[in-house]
Every structure is written in C-alpha cells, then in structure tokens.
Structure 1
C-alpha cells in the first residue's frame, strides 16, 4: 500500500457516497450555575444501531485550495484524503474516505500519515478536523491516532439525535504531536468532515492515469 499525491482537478466531478453505523454516541450536557459552567460529555448507547448515509460532491465549493492524496494497492484505489492550508498555519482535513471493501486494512491510518507528514514538512503547527458525536467509530479512530477533544458546535449537539437521525451533532477534538507539529488539533466547521466510512469507485480515465503514474515512479 502506498499514498500518492493527486491532482484535485481529477476529482472535481466525483460524487461520493458515505455511510457509517454506530451503536454509541456522546451526549453533551452544559449547565450554568451563576459563577461557573459545567460541561459533561456522556457516552451513551443507541436503542438501535444508528445508520447514516449521504452523497455529496467531493470538491464542494467551500474547499477552495484542496490537497488530495490517495491510498493505492497497485492500481486499486483504497481511499482518499483531502486537506487544505488555513490562514492560522493549520492544516484542515476535509475528508478521510475509506472504500467499504477496504476497511480494517490500515488505510485510514495510512491516509492520516500522509496529512501528518505534509503538515510536518510544510511547517504547519496543527491539524484540524471535525466529526459527529454520533459517529463513535470515527471518534475512536481519531482518539487512537492521537487526537484529543478541543470543542463543540453546540447548536447541533442535543439529545434530539435520538429522535431524528438527521440531526447528528458535531464533535471536535485536538491533540499534540512530538513529531514536528507543535499542536495537532481538530476544530469545527459545520459542513466539514462528517465523513469517515465511504464507498465510491474510480472512472476508467482516473484509473488509467493513476496506473500510468505508478508505472513511471
């Protein structure tokens, strides 16, 4: 398996479908008692597995200058990661996509390594991304990779998630790295990376171009 830098324009017409299933979620409880705020993040179980599916254009308009890497086994695409430099010397991860048949193969970690290495060599001070509080598998992956909690998008975090599967909430995490990045964090953009598990396929032109690049390496 190897990661290869891709031309973002080659992804401009791709529509991806992502899905995930989660048996747990984090419920945010905020209380204000005169002179202090209390914030609790409680891990709870859904009464039945929560399943979310959504399709979207890979290069949404808000991704102004995306950088893309793909994970490949020979000519087979296993997944993609898109990220972008921000004004405060941060590297925002917009998407980390692992195709359904390629899960549990270390693809996600390989893609995250590509973003981390790019941030280090570019002198970036942190990585940033967002996921949903109901996407327990994604949260577990990010925490295992070294990310830690940074904040919340509170308007969309409510136990309403139990009543309406579409009201999934935002969850933000951050961490520190000793590998050249002073601070690695995950911050909120409501539209950003809700995505962790996806399914999609390459066009024949995309595949031919990538195979040609691999053979010339």
Structure 2
C-alpha cells in the first residue's frame, strides 16, 4: 500500500463514485427551552436501509480558491490500482486543514486505507502547525461517523439546510467533525 500526491491537472475531471448504505442515522431534534435551545442527535434504526449512490468531482476550482496553498490530492495505490483518494486544503483564516473529499473504494474498505489517508492529513496539519482538521459528513452516514470517531474526530457542528430545506425531515443533515489532537 502506497500513498502519494496526485497531479491536479491530470485528475481534474475525475469523479469519485460514493456508494454506501446504513440501517441507522442520527435524528436531529432542535427545540426551544425556557433558557434557550436544545440540540440533540439521537441514534435511530431505520425500517429500510438508507442507500446512497452518487458522484462528486475529486477536485474543483473552488477548493483552490478556499485554500491558501491550493488544495492537494492524494491517492492510495495497491498493486497498480488507486483504491482511495483524499483532497485537502488549508483554511488560513482560521488555521484549519479541511478534508474536502475522502473515498475508499467499497471493496477495499476496512483495510486501513482511510486511516492512511487521514494520517496523511494529520501529518500535513502538523507540518503547517494547524490547530485542527475539519471535515463534513451526514447524519445518515453512520459508518463514516464511527470511522472518523475512531480516527480522533468529534462532533463540531451542524447545518440543517446545507443540501435542501428539509434536511432535518429527510434525516440527512450536514455535520462537521473536528480533530484537534494529531
């Protein structure tokens, strides 16, 4: 298994094919209390599995625009096949490294490839003296949340209208996860 930086020009049109399923999700409950607001994320089981199957670009121009040093792309190769990718960029205004994209091919998951990619992000964050690494996932991607928690990430916040106006009702709320110790 080998990790290496990929050339953006060569990979600029490459699409990541995300495919996952879950029989659980975190239900977001926001309610008013006498003293303010209460936000609760409660793990729930679904009647039928949540299945996601979509594509996103590995790199987009806005990633460079948001990143001081320009975004970097990394790949993990096993034999001659690239089986995992990660795009990261520096947010200098708040001294954080952002993981924009992270994907390990379905048949190669649970083999340490995602950990290897996040270890690379941690190495970059140490080199740049970042205060944190930040990334996005969704409340219905419980496997990803659990993986990130094992890698030292914790809940950092949520956005209840990131994808649609009914994200809470659809049980697909954007959450940010943060790692401060690397």
TM-score normalized by structure 1?
A: 0.74
Bigger strand share: 2
1:160: Cα distance to partner? Answer: 2.8
Alignment of 1:187-202 (within 5 A): none
Q: Does 1:103 align with 2:109?
A: yes
Aligned length: 172
- Equivalent residue number for residue 58 of structure 1: 58
Q: 2:46: which partner in 1?
A: 46
Question: 1:80 matched to which residue of 2?
Answer: 85
- Give the deviation of 1:123 after TM superposition: 1.4
Ranges in structure 1 where 5+ consecutive residues have no aligned partner: 162-167, 180-217
Q: Residue in 2 aligned with 1:119?
A: 125
Instruction: Decide whether the 8 Å contact of 1:149 with 1:175 is kept in 2.
Output: no
Checking the alignment, whether the CA contact within 8 Å between 2:134 and 2:179 is kept in structure 1 is no
* 2:61 aligned counterpart, secondary structure: coil
Unaligned segments of structure 2, at least 5 residues: 65-69
Q: After TM superposition, give the deviation of residue 34 of structure 1 in Å.
A: 3.4
* Matching of residues 159-178 of structure 1 within 5 Å: 159-161=169-171, 168-177=172-181
Which structure has the larger Rg?
1
In the alignment, the residues of structure 2 paired with residue 78 and residue 100 of structure 1 have an alpha-carbon distance, to the nearest angstrom, of: 9
**After superposition, what is the alpha-carbon deviation per residue over 1:50-107, rounded to whole angstroms, capped at 9, x for unaligned?**
0011112222232122101111124221211100011222110001110122112111
Greater relative contact order (CA < 8 Å, ≥ 6 in sequence): 1
Per the alignment, residue 145 of structure 2 pairs with 139
Contact 2:21 2:49 in 1 (8 A): yes
Q: CA RMSD in A?
A: 1.5
